[in-house]
A = this chain, B = another copy of it.
């Protein structure tokens, strides 16, 4: 059974990373993976949350949201519902945790970097696209701080990207689109560093349990996809303001 848009099972959808998408934030990256579009901005704040006050270190935190019509059916805004859904909270906790894992917070000083990931359009893989894009926005914010003399040394310890993989109708697929994701037997999100190590592995049996061999197949697939995404991130970081089309 061919995949949508005729790609093979080990292939990512087309990726496009646009830095300086908006002018105001210290980092502003539009990442497009297939139809999925996430605007990731990085904002610097000169203070830390209460639990870190006086600890002489910084903080990285993330917020995630979808525009109401990012999806096929319009969703009610969480601002008008008056509360965040469990899905939103779970995703923004994941993004923040992932980004913090490649930053030496003690080198950041008493600063918070906010990574806002707003999904303009959703076609699967929004949380992993958000992590991949947010890393680039974080990189720009840190460059800004270094350029302005507000940081002496670079607190980023490694690069970072993420991808989804899954088992769909018995086949192992990289980078699931929404249609594929909704039919997956197993669904996994993997976050890795540039040095090839794992940061997060979240595998879920959506329809049937999986064994250790299947887990390994999926991790291999994810590892390859993430290496390709890291190439796109590097390319984007070399050219400023021009979209990197892949």
A24 near B121 with CB under 8 A, answer yes
Given contacts A72-B24, A86-B92, A201-B202, is CB(A118)–CB(B67) below 8 Å? yes
Query: Does A82 sit at the interface, judged by CB under 8 A?
Result: yes
Are B67 and A39 in contact, with the CB atoms below 8 A?
Answer: yes
Query: How many A residues touch the partner, as a band?
Result: 35 or more
Distance of A69 Cα from B116 Cα, bound (Å): 8
Verify A63–B80 contact, CB threshold 8 A. Answer: yes
Give the chain B neighbours of A43 by CB distance below 8 A.
68-69, 74
- The answer on a CB contact under 8 Å between A200 and B204 is yes
A24 and B116: CB pair below 8 A?
no
Q: Is the interface of A mostly helix, strand, loop or mixed?
A: mixed
Q: Given that A69-B24, A89-B86, A90-B93 are known contacts, is A195 also in contact with B209, CB under 8 Å in the complex?
A: yes
- Kindly identify which residue among B37, B116, B121, B201 contacts A201, using a CB–CB cutoff of 8 Å: B201
Q: A211 vs B201: C-alpha distance in the bound complex, in angstroms?
A: 11
Tell me whether A24 and B71 are in contact (CB under 8 A). Answer: yes
Is the Cβ of B25 less than 8 Å from the Cβ of A69?
yes
- Whether A209 contacts B37 by the Cβ 8 Å rule is no
For residue A221, CB closer than 8 A to chain B, the reply is no
**CB-CB contacts of A196-228 with B at 8 A, as 1s and 0s?**
111111111100011110011001000000000
Structural contact, B215 and A114, CB atoms closer than 8 A: no
- Which of B68, B90, B118, B201 is the one whose CB lies under 8 Å from A90? B90
A81 vs B158: C-alpha distance when bound (angstroms): 33
Q: Mark A60-71, 1 if CB is under 8 A from B, else 0.
A: 000101011111
**Given contacts A23-B35, A25-B69, A86-B92, are A202 and B202 in contact (CB under 8 A)?**
yes
The residues of B that contact A24 with a CB separation of less than 8 Å are 35, 69-72, 121
Selected from B28, B90, B195, B219, the residue in CB contact (under 8 A) with A212 is: B219
A-B contact pairs, 8 of them (CB 8 A): A23-B121, A25-B69, A74-B116, A78-B79, A197-B205, A198-B203, A198-B205, A200-B204
